[in-house]
Amino acid sequence: MARIGVVAANMSGLTFTELQDLAKNAEAAGFEAIFSPEFMNDSLINCQIMAQATSRIKVGTWIANIYLRHAALCAQSAIAIDATSDGRLILGLGVSHRPIVEGLYQEKMEKPRTFLRQYIGAIRDMAAGKELPGMAMQPRAATNHIPIYIGALALGTVTLSGELADGVMLYLCPKSRIPSALAAVEKGAAKAGRPVSDIDITTGILSCIHDDAGLATEAARNNLGFYGGLPYYNKLFQENGFEAEAAEMAKGAGQGASARMAQELAVIGPPTQCREHLASFREAGIHMPILNPVPVGEQTYAQAVQKAIETFAQ
C-alpha cells in the first residue's frame, strides 16, 4: 500500500467534530497519517482529539512551533498522547517564522537551528525518563518510541534532520530540489553514523483538486502568494528558480505566484491528473507525500480535505 498523509487544519474553520470526522474518513480510506498544523491553535491537542476518534491512523503535528511551549511541556504532552494513542503520534517540530515568532508571539528568535537541536535533545531525554536541569522530580518516560520529524526548508535544517530526527518534513519542494534534499539528509546521517534508511522523507504538497483546472490553478496561486510573504519561504522560492515570483510576493500583496510555479509545487486539477502528479513525487524519492488541501471555487475547507481523502483513497 502506498504511504500517504493528509493535513486537516481546524484553524481554517473546521470544528473539532469535523476534525474527528475527517480523521475517521482518512483512516477508513487507508491513509497512514493525518496531521495538524499550528498557528493560533494547539497542534498537540488536535492530535489527541483525532487519536480519540480513531484506532489505526497515525496523528502528527505539522509543525509544532518550538517557541510556543517549553520543551518539558512539549515532551510531557507528547508522552501522554503516545500512551493514550498506543504509539500513533508523530511529533513534527519546527522553528516557524521570524515575523510570527517575534511579531505575534513576542519571542526572541536567535540561532533557531541551535535551539532546535537543544529542544530535540531535551525531549529525547524526558521521553527516556531523564530530568532536565532544574527539575524537581523525574518525569514520566514515554511508553513507546516517539518519532520526531523536523520541518525543514533550508538544506542546513534538512541535514540536521538526517543527523537527529526520525524524519524530515519538506514543504513546497519541487521535484528538481528533491535530489539536493536527499543529499542533505545523507550528509546528516553520515555525520551521526546512522543509515540514511532510518530517516523518513516526507514533503507537504498543496492539493487543489477540481475538475476545473483553471480554478484549481488560481487557488494554488493565491495560496502560494501567502507563503511568499514569509521570509523563509520567499528565500526558498528564490533558490528554486522562482526569482521573479518571489520578488513580487515579497511586496506583501498576497500575489505574484505564476501558473508555472503552481504547477510545480502543487497537485492541481481533476483527480486522475492529481494522482499522476503525486506519483512523480514518489518516484523522485519521497517516502510519504503529505497532502495540504486548498479549497477551490465554492468548496469549503472541510470539502477540500474530504476531496483529497476520496481522491487518494487506498
pLDDT tens-place string over residues 98-148: 767 767 766 777 899 999 999 999 999 999 999 888 877 788 899 999 999
In a domain, 111, yes or no: yes
The residues of the chain scoring below 50 in pLDDT are none
| Residue 118 lies in domain | 1-151
In a domain, 95, yes or no: yes
Angstrom distance (rounded) from CA 49 to CA 17: 9
In degrees and rounded to multiples of 5, residue 207 shows phi and psi of -120, 120
Paired sense of beta strands 288-293 and 5-7, if any: parallel
Closest CA to 209 of 298, 313, 293, 300: 293
In a domain, 311, yes or no: no
Domain total of the chain = 1
The CATH number of whichever domain residue 85 belongs to comes to 3.20.20.30
What pLDDT is recorded for position 135? 77
In a domain, 144, yes or no: yes
What pLDDT is recorded for position 102? 65
Q: 204 in helix, strand or coil?
A: strand
CB atoms within 10 A of CB 55: 11
C-alpha radius of gyration, the chain, whole number = 19
In degrees and rounded to multiples of 5, residue 50 shows phi and psi of -70, -35
In a domain, 269, yes or no: no
In a domain, 94, yes or no: yes
Angstrom distance (rounded) from CA 168 to CA 93: 10
What pLDDT is recorded for position 11? 77
In a domain, 199, yes or no: no
Grid cell at residue 198? 532510518
What pLDDT is recorded for position 134? 80
In a domain, 40, yes or no: yes
Angle (CA) 268 149 60, round 5°: 65
